[in-house]
A and B are shown apart, each in its own frame.
Chain A
């Protein structure tokens, strides 16, 4: 409890004791009224003050005003009865104020607690960094003060505070704070490490490469903290609703207080002012919109917090909401449904190239030897041409080549998106890419050569052969597609730049509904736009990519999802929802979280409004008294908050 909350608690206790004492005190008449004013002011002075300030500032209709009018009204009614010679009822006014404050306090504590729970869940912020001075003394400093290039020390059990490169030591890292999965990761000298991981086994010395503010941890925290700023449609609806609702209720209450009495008077009956005023006041107490206003953002916040604990970062409540209505899911194949780990499966040099490169082997028995040698040269050329590219395919070529690449030998590299790369290698012009590149260079090549990505290579304008690279489908992909279908996704579509043959193979394996192949990056945007035009207005389309070169598509889709984003800043920037690891099942999980969260939001809206509506009607007919009114206000709010906290719990 904060200091403020404690103060309210003391006031509540003091007022409650005074009320009990007063109930047994044998005092009569106006003295009783004055004595009751003491607990009334103890418990309600701030509300009265706020209501008065509100009126002064022209902000009339808020809950303070409602409470002030209701309780002052109740007190005055007591005085009125007293003046008529009956015994006035003063306890009720004080009690209403007392219970309102108890409710407020309970709410503040409950909200504060769930807020802290969620924040704690997301708190992967490291508190310090260890710096070693010349004498070997270790000092703990604020990670904010560490300059890039400083060597920091991370002991087993500590969080890595800042992104960097390991300069000394071997260890295993636990990435669960970032990904939600505790798959240990081995690191050794020279490897990059990401802040937020926990060092499990060995002592690491890390040279930082970024400032703390630019490190992964800070970026993720920023993103999640800002997520509640992007409000969901439901939240905006409630805000608007509250704006009209409060004045409407106030005028209705006023009408309820005046009209029946006036009508009674005109009909020649006794006016019954006190009855109707009490009903109007009850009406006011019931009507407070707090339960809705508090529980809805709390539900979304809980959902976002729960998701981030599973390694799913949602950048705004609006995206969490949209995700529940996702009917179309479009996947980029590479790195999303497939591992994006390409392996060279075949190297095939053309006969001309073999003749050229393997020298003039005289005998036919040397044929296989020639093929081997020329294949190796082909792979070498490919690895050199692609040496500047970070594309997974290029990486796999370099891996297959397996030797140090002397980048000085490569010049005038030109990447042609969706086609391939051309470059000068050792004074030969080398082109490596798909058949479209060959077509555009006017070089004939074989088009149907097997399942996988085909890299055709031409040297000095002459076709030299191809390299076949296959991608591996992720184990969870088929399951993920099935889970999405089960979650109500109408259509799954796979987009790929690969050949139709490869695409068909993978699509069949995973049971996606549709696939488009041989797409250039621009075609992918077009394909997504086509699908966007097809879908209904309340249906959403999610695009799932690896975030490496599909930023335009990510932003074009209703919801852009980047996968395997651990360590990829670009993906985190571009996407609306970020899956930290590369398990496609996480998307289905994200949808489940979103559904649950939305269900809780609707539950709260319906529950709160129904209880209030029923109580309002009962209040207007005089069936509900002040006590029921207090329940309708505070009770509903507390139940709604407790319900909202359920969003935080995620079953993986």
Chain B
């Protein structure tokens, strides 16, 4: 399952770091961050609970880039 989230991040390098961090979160199959469109696309593993995983993704991203934001509806 894939989902796209709106994000806010200031620099391209930070976007790369967020992508790396998101990929390492459990339950995430793959992640791509587009700095240009300010969007993050996350592919979840089959059994993952998307809401819980996204909380972790957000935490992981905050860790590498302090002032980024992922908007989870």
Contact = CB atoms under 8 A, between A and B. Distances in A.
Given A57-B63, A115-B36, A293 B16 contact: yes
Interface string A229-247: 1010000000100100000
B60 to A, nearest CB: 10
Candidate in A4, A50, A229, A293 with the most chain B CB atoms within 10 angstroms: A229
A504 interface: no
Interface string B1-41: 00010000011110011000000000000001011111101
A468 B48 CA distance: 59
Contacts of A118: 36
A225 B37 contact: yes
Contacts of A119: 37
A168 interface: no
Contact of B64 (A57, A228, A289): A57
B16 A290 contact: no
B17 A62 contact: yes
Contacts of B34: 225-226, 228-229, 297
A63 B13 contact: yes
A42 interface: no
A433 B4 CA distance: 47
Label chain B's interface by main secondary structure: mixed
Nearest to B31: A229
A108 B13 contact: no
A290 B64 contact: no
B11 A290 contact: yes
Given A225-B39, A229-B41, A62 B13 contact: yes
A15 interface: no
A50 B13 CA distance: 14
B5 to A, nearest CB: 12
B13 A293 contact: yes
B16 A53 contact: no
Interface residues of A, number: 30
A231 B63 CA distance: 24
Nearest to B16: A239
B13 A228 contact: no
A53 B35 CA distance: 22
B35 A59 contact: no
A505 interface: no
A116 to B, nearest CB: 11
B44 to A, nearest CB: 16
B66 A50 contact: yes
Contact of A242 (B16, B36, B66): B16
A239 B64 CA distance: 16
A218 to B, nearest CB: 13
Contacts of A107: 11
A424 B35 CA distance: 58
A51 to B, nearest CB: 10
A111 B37 CA distance: 11
Nearest to A295: B12
Contacts of A294: 11-13, 35
Nearest to A225: B37
Contacts of B35: 228, 294, 297
- Nearest first, the 4 closest Cβ-Cβ pairs linking A and B are A294-B12, A301-B36, A229-B32, A228-B34
Interface of B: 4, 10-13, 16-17, 32, 34-39, 41, 63-64, 66-67
9 contacts: A46-B67, A59-B64, A62-B17, A108-B10, A119-B37, A226-B34, A290-B11, A290-B13, A293-B11
